Amino acid sequence: MEERIQKIMARAGLGSRRACEELIAAGRVRVNGKVASLGAKADAAQDKIEVDGRPLSGSEALVYIALYKPRGVLSAASSPDSRQTVRDLVPESGRLYPVGRLDFDSEGLILLTNDGELANQLTHPRYGHEKEYRVLVARQPDEEQLATWQRGVVLEDDYRTQPAKVRVESLEGKGAWLRVIMREGRKRQIREVGTRLGLPVVKIIRIRIGTLMLGNLKPREWRHLSPQEVSGLRSQKGRTRAGSKNEKVKPRKSKEPNRSQRPPDKSKRR
């Protein structure tokens, strides 16, 4: 059966579909000796697919690992310099790629896997998977700052962030711990939003990706996901719970009836 080449590559553990598309666009993939093009299809059972001249191997055993990334570690499989990466923290063999990247100064939950299909599902914007963070800011926010963050903030490049769930979790000296839940993840977004609102960010800890929780992991600790956790990530398709167990969810307001459905206003009767 023919499938898109990037889908076959992702299933074989070469990374997310987007990463595989980049390999194809760079001319590093050949099918039956010919350079592959984006959008082309192939039959994994019959066609010879090569990446950088090496035949595509059969599907690897799928691996899923939750890691607590500490500050000062790159969210990458390899480093262009001597800095440590999340891959260095997990002494497991085989190719593993980070899903849900965190910037160098942030910490918390990272998923490492060779399941390109799941990686694509968790990172592609159209699925809108929630990511939850504990954020320490240097000042205690007022109601207007929280409301603005919740509605969306215009960043330096004129991009308006999507609505987010933001609440004060606890006070910390002159600052406060916030709980932030988002469905997007632009580079250094939380830090830039905090700066724009006059709430300098001191610390960021990610505690959830979709249905996967950080749990009791400490910095540099990692564990394999349970079958139930993997199943939860696979089946949610962007529909995650409204927030953590401490978050109150407002009931939906019923739609206002149209004029024909409204009861008569007795006060206007003559």
| Active site positions, annotated | 103
What span, in angstroms and rounded, lies between the C-alpha atoms of 55 and 128? 34
What angle do the packed helices 17-25 and 116-123 form, to 10 degrees? 100
What span, in angstroms and rounded, lies between the C-alpha atoms of 84 and 65? 18
Q: Are strands 107-113 and 97-99 parallel, antiparallel or unpaired?
A: antiparallel
Q: Which residue bears the tokens 């923290």? A: 89
* DSSP per-residue string spanning 145-169: HHHHHHH--B-TTSPBPPP-EEEEE
Contact (Cβ atoms closer than 8 angstroms) between residue 97 and residue 115: no
Helix (H) or strand (E) holding 229: helix 227-236
